[in-house]
Amino acid sequence: MKCDICGNSPVLIHIQQITGKEEINIHICEKCAKEKGLNPGRKGFPLNIGSLIKNFEEIKRAVEEKDNRRVCPRCGQTFEEFKKSGSAGCEECYDAFRKYIISFLRKNAGWRGYDGKFPRKANILRYRVKNRDSLKSRLARAVERERYEEAAFLRDRLRFVEKQIERDGN
């Protein structure tokens, strides 16, 4: 995993903020942490909590700025433009901004996976089986790490895709 601010160095500090239903995860490297004013704590404790609280807003802003500069490699639309207009420039935007799109659809439209019509040429069953296997391992990992909210969502998606496979397989 690479740092969310500079994008180069390996991550040292993971920060998670939960406000109501919203969850923000930030991962930063040692160098960026120092630059943003995070100090090591006393008695060998890696982080001084006071400095985190003081500087958290700025860290969030830095991560967001970096996010906004992300660009779709095909059509050149930036993430900032995309968020503002809500319209994709090409099909690859859906890959480039996948995380945001999924969370947008999940929050607003109750997305758990696609269950509609598909083009004749799409091999949907193979995708679903692959998707089921990846969801299974992600679910196991989430449970192991005690991330129960994420696990609940993954479990819903897993059930959904299992039902689809069962329905289409017969």
In the bound complex, what is the minimum distance in angstroms from residue 29's beta carbon to other proteins?
Answer: 30
Closest to other proteins by CB, 29 vs 72, is 72
Q: Which residues bind other proteins (CB under 8 A)?
A: 74-77, 85-91, 94, 101-102, 104-105, 108-122, 124, 127-128, 131
Cβ contacts of 115 within 8 Å, gap of 6 or more: 160, 164
Closest to other proteins by CB, 20 vs 119, is 119
Handedness of CA 115, 20, 150, 71 (dihedral sign): positive
In the bound complex, what is the minimum distance in angstroms from residue 132's beta carbon to other proteins?
Answer: 12
Three-state DSSP class for residue 161: helix
In the bound complex, what is the minimum distance in angstroms from residue 78's beta carbon to other proteins?
Answer: 12
Q: How far apart are CA 76 and CA 90, in angstroms?
A: 9
Closest to other proteins by CB, 5 vs 72, is 72
Q: Residues 5, 17, 99, CA angle at the centre, nearest 5°? A: 60
In the bound complex, what is the minimum distance in angstroms from residue 137's beta carbon to other proteins?
Answer: 17
Say if residues 31 and 90 touch (Cβ distance below 8 Å). Answer: no
Closest to other proteins by CB, 69 vs 130, is 130
